[in-house]
Amino acid sequence: MRIRMTIVAAVATLACSVGLYPLFAGGRWFWTGTAAVLAAACGGLVSRRLRLPAVLDPLFGLAALLLYLTAAYAAGEAWLGFVPSPGSLSHLVDLAGDGWSAANRYAAPVPLVSGIGFLAAAGIGVVAVLVDLLAVRLRRAAPAGLPLLAMYSVPAAVRQDGVGWPAFAIGAVAFLALLMADAREQVGGWGRAVTVHRHGEELPLAGAEPPSGQRVRADGGRRAASGRRIALGSVAIAVLLPLAVPIHPRGVFGMGGGGRGRGDQTVTTPDPLVSLKRELTRLDDSVVLTYRTDDPDGPDYLRLYALDRFDGDRWTYSRLSSSAADRLSGRTLPPPPGLSIAPVHEVTTRVKVSGEVRDMTFLPVPYAPTRVSIKGDWRVHRQSLMIYSLSDSAGGRSYTVTSLRADPTAADLSAAVGYPADVVSHYTAVPKNIPPQIRALAQNVTAGAATARAQAVKLQRWFTLTGGFTYDLSTPAPQRGNDLVDFLLRSKRGYCEQFAASMALMARILGIPSRVAMGYTSGTQTQPGTWVVRSRDAHAWPELYFEGSGWVRFEPTPSGAAGQGTAVTPAYSRPADGGGRQGDDALPTPAATSGPDRSSASPQAAPHRNDTGAQNGLTPEDSGDGGWSAAPWIAGGVLVLLLLAVPMVLRALTRRRRWAVLSTPPQGRGGSSPPDVRGGVPDGVPDGGGAAHAAWREMRADALDHGLEWRPSDSPRAAARRLGELLELDEVPAEALGRIARAEELARYARTRPADPPELLRADVRTVRAAFAASVGRRARWRARVFPPSAMAQARSALRGTGLRAADLADRLNDLPNRVRRR
């Protein structure tokens, strides 16, 4: 039957279900969940009562759960109000469907419509069945934590703030209680302890301090207590260690989204690149959206995605972290990164997305949006200003976008030097396996260009004009890094994806922060101010970062009839026109490198890369994937080394302190009997015994460090005799050892204090230490130096107080059920 375990398992499930609170508005779900847990527990109990095989255990639990759910949610359709009938079952299925769609429609906290309540109760109930099966029937309490943890993962995944620590603590305590109860049952099953032999620590041998409140427990109780201590310790380690260890912001297991906080949800959308190809090759020329714009310069591209990671094969975006704080809700969006100097003008765009568009969870908006008005739960990704939704689709919606359109001049771009460190680390990362030909190609194509802008212009020019590329939609989408190599070096046939990806990659090779943007070109104008974007306008283009201008679009894809029909090359990226405002000082001619503002730059090495050197001491090209940086690892290594050195330092400090206390001259206290019962010598008062105690402790620490056995029941002379015999010490160290022991003996037990001067004792300690070191093996010797166990013991004893208190707390927690029962 295992009623006790059943109860504990049910309580643990309930306590963990508290963690679901961020998901729901209101608290009614908890009570339905409680009832579901009770039903599952009863099912399990009945099956155990009937002594059915373990397989049937969950079936009984699920059956009981179904009965409850039927009674609670489909009583009208059910026989007798709780026996499931086909009608009630279909009603429940409908309810589940409603709940599912509601869960997808609303962001957490979800209003508690009946479908949601049903789903919550069913989910909690299923977890309860699993926990009951694992912990009670199969007696595997530890794996029972997995379904419990699964419950936590739901709110943690949906909400950025995740679960508050009190809720987590409740669940953790409940799980611990489950483990403890299990350990107790298991040990209890062994019956009476066979041997009456007891361990040393159970004897009241601690001298004058018998542990207060010491209770005599059964042997099983002691084991359970140690189990509790272990459990408590492991939880403490599991919780505290990650805080102390420097880990990569992305997280050890690649979790943690874009490295911005925990509890992020990864937005799963169809691979943007795949959908791009599909849209481009669609035969029907369906309208994706229409928009009106007040931009006098003609509309800019509409961007859906910003792909910031190149993994060696293809471009993707970093996982998005999402929280309620990112919701648009009519607020002004974060300022576009890097845009400070370049002239801007504000553009308002009214977009109407066609009703036939499905699954458009990213909004096409002109860069850089500052304000988006749209219904539904839409969020912004702060770094890239992508607008996306976790639950809604843009299909059929109308929205208004206010955006800042930057009009950088060629001079602005040319003058941009240096990048913020985070931009460099994130947007110039190139995998190591990039073939050297591409690196060489990037250098060759941009040879002679002195500024980032000149390099970018040269690249764009090479792609569109001089490189001999052909726009060809029939080429397969690049799947691997080799496809890009093939495109760049051999076939030179491709469509916007290849062009954009290649240019962004080459820009990164050259040290220019870049990413691939995806979305739509401006489309075609149907009437003044009104534009239509069709599926064939889907496009990909590189965005390069220039300090002061932010992310700037380039257009390496050929445009016009032989290319992407509606693609437009931005003015600032054209080599000849220079933007008309200032003379273009960045002409991509070798002569331009002699310009006065770049006189110090070598023609071969782009100066902007030198500029970034200070901020980017580690070459991003060495890194494996986007945003990887070696600094945390080095810091972690240093920290590990420091941690390893702690025992050594601790030992040295202790040694210093012991002798330093003696530097004050001893005051004659000989003859006076020690006032204290235990100590013999009161703390902190230096007297003749101080040196002896210090020498003795030092010697003991040395013995421990060298792995020599030290028995607490040995008196000084017994210890000295034993060590001398054990190590077969020579005469000199043996005498030194004897002197130390005798001084300590006198200091501890005699009326008169030893008269040995500290210096002599110190020398003796040194002699003895050398003798210890000489008589043990090399390993023990090094351990004594580097990892002295005495220092560890010291730290342990310091921790012991804390540990005892924690263990006491655990004891009390474990006793709680008993106490409650007694009442």
| Helices assigned H by DSSP within 106-133 | 114-131
CB of 649 to another protein, least distance (A): 20
Q: Which of 713, 731, 821, 823 binds another protein (CB under 8 A)?
A: 713
CB of 761 to another protein, least distance (A): 15
The pairing of beta strand 309-310 with beta strand 514-520: unpaired
For another protein, the closer CB: 241 or 677: 677
Contact criterion met (CB below 8 Å) for 554 and 460:
yes
Contact criterion met (CB below 8 Å) for 434 and 620:
no
DSSP-derived 3-state class of residue 398 = strand
For another protein, the closer CB: 105 or 198: 198
What amino acid is encoded at 670 in this protein? G
Q: Residues 663-702: x/- map of binding to another protein (CB under 8 A)? A: ----------xx-xxxxxx-x-----x---x---------
Q: Which helix (H) or strand (E) holds 76?
A: none
For another protein, the closer CB: 204 or 668: 204
Q: Write the DSSP symbol of residue 580.
A: T
Among the residue ranges 157-165, 314-322, 432-440, 711-719, the one whose residues contact another protein (CB under 8 A):
711-719
Q: Tokens in use for 439?
A: 């690196």
Rounded CA-CA distance 104/124 in Å is 19
Among the residue ranges 125-133, 481-489, 710-718, 729-737, the one whose residues contact another protein (CB under 8 A):
710-718
Among the residue ranges 25-33, 107-115, 258-266, 714-722, the one whose residues contact another protein (CB under 8 A):
714-722
Rounded CA-CA distance 174/127 in Å is 14
Q: Does residue 750 interact with another protein by CB under 8 A?
A: yes
The pairing of beta strand 514-520 with beta strand 538-546: antiparallel
CB of 808 to another protein, least distance (A): 22
Kindly write down the DSSP assignment for every residue of 22-59, as one continuous string: GGBSSSHHHHHHHHHHHHHHHHHHHHHHTT--TTHHHH
For another protein, the closer CB: 196 or 244: 196
* Nearest partner of 115 among 127, 125, 101, 105, judged by Cα: 101
Q: Does residue 100 interact with another protein by CB under 8 A?
A: no
Q: Does residue 205 interact with another protein by CB under 8 A?
A: yes
Contact criterion met (CB below 8 Å) for 566 and 535:
no
What amino acid is encoded at 190 in this protein? W
CB of 765 to another protein, least distance (A): 17
CB of 753 to another protein, least distance (A): 11
Contact criterion met (CB below 8 Å) for 515 and 542:
yes
Q: From start to end of 734-814, where are the E strands?
A: none
For another protein, the closer CB: 375 or 711: 711
Q: Does residue 725 interact with another protein by CB under 8 A?
A: no
Q: Tokens in use for 513?
A: 């922060």
What amino acid is encoded at 430 in this protein? V
Q: Does residue 207 interact with another protein by CB under 8 A?
A: yes
Q: Which of 238, 640, 718, 786 binds another protein (CB under 8 A)?
A: 718
For another protein, the closer CB: 285 or 676: 676
Q: Does residue 69 interact with another protein by CB under 8 A?
A: no
For another protein, the closer CB: 459 or 691: 691
Rounded CA-CA distance 614/600 in Å is 17
Contact criterion met (CB below 8 Å) for 601 and 417:
no
Q: Does residue 712 interact with another protein by CB under 8 A?
A: yes
For another protein, the closer CB: 717 or 805: 717
Phi, psi of 254 (to 5 degrees): 70, 15
- CA atoms lying within 13 Å on the CB side of residue 482: 0
Q: Does residue 53 interact with another protein by CB under 8 A?
A: no
- The C-alpha angle 310, 316, 319, rounded to 5 degrees, equals 115
Adjacent-strand bridge partners of 290: 352, 532
| Residue list 140-199, contact with another protein (CB under 8 A) | 196, 198
Q: What does the chain come to in residues?
A: 823
CB of 794 to another protein, least distance (A): 11
For another protein, the closer CB: 461 or 658: 658
For another protein, the closer CB: 177 or 691: 691
For another protein, the closer CB: 636 or 680: 680
Which residue is listed with tokens 């932010």?
550
CB of 184 to another protein, least distance (A): 22
Adjacent-strand bridge partners of 292: 350, 530
Rounded CA-CA distance 473/552 in Å is 25
* Nearest partner of 271 among 356, 355, 362, judged by Cα: 362
CB of 764 to another protein, least distance (A): 19
CB of 685 to another protein, least distance (A): 11
For another protein, the closer CB: 405 or 697: 697
Q: Tokens in use for 556?
A: 């390496």
Q: Which helix (H) or strand (E) holds 692?
A: helix 688-705
Q: Does residue 717 interact with another protein by CB under 8 A?
A: yes
| Residue list 462-521, contact with another protein (CB under 8 A) | none
Among the residue ranges 249-257, 420-428, 647-655, 715-723, the one whose residues contact another protein (CB under 8 A):
715-723
Contact criterion met (CB below 8 Å) for 564 and 471:
yes
CB of 788 to another protein, least distance (A): 18
Rounded CA-CA distance 470/498 in Å is 11
For another protein, the closer CB: 718 or 799: 718
Adjacent-strand bridge partners of 532: 290, 524
Q: Does residue 608 interact with another protein by CB under 8 A?
A: no
Q: Which of 194, 208, 244, 614 binds another protein (CB under 8 A)?
A: 208
Among the residue ranges 17-25, 202-210, 326-334, 519-527, the one whose residues contact another protein (CB under 8 A):
202-210
Among the residue ranges 6-14, 27-35, 363-371, 743-751, the one whose residues contact another protein (CB under 8 A):
743-751
For another protein, the closer CB: 146 or 718: 718
Question: 3-state SS string over 424-485?
Answer: HHHHCCCCCCCCHHHHHHHHHHCCCCCCHHHHHHHHHHHHHHHCCCEECCCCCCCCCHHHHH
Q: Does residue 711 interact with another protein by CB under 8 A?
A: yes
Question: 3-state SS string over 404-421?
Answer: EEECCCHHHHHHCCCCCH
For another protein, the closer CB: 209 or 731: 209
Q: Does residue 797 interact with another protein by CB under 8 A?
A: no
Rounded CA-CA distance 65/71 in Å is 10
CB of 751 to another protein, least distance (A): 4
Q: Tell me the number of residues near another protein by CB under 8 A.
A: 33
For another protein, the closer CB: 598 or 748: 748
Q: Does residue 714 interact with another protein by CB under 8 A?
A: yes
Q: Tokens in use for 562?
A: 């032989």
For another protein, the closer CB: 718 or 809: 718
Rounded CA-CA distance 446/439 in Å is 11
Q: Residues 751-770: x/- map of binding to another protein (CB under 8 A)? A: x-------------------
Q: Which of 59, 715, 735, 781 binds another protein (CB under 8 A)?
A: 715
Q: Which of 27, 189, 191, 200 binds another protein (CB under 8 A)?
A: 200
Q: Tokens in use for 477?
A: 């989408």
Among the residue ranges 54-62, 81-89, 184-192, 205-213, the one whose residues contact another protein (CB under 8 A):
205-213
For another protein, the closer CB: 320 or 681: 681
Cis amide linkage into residue 789, ω under 30° from 0: no
For another protein, the binding residues (CB under 8 A) are 196, 198, 200, 203-205, 207-208, 673-674, 676-681, 683, 689, 693, 711-715, 717-718, 745-751
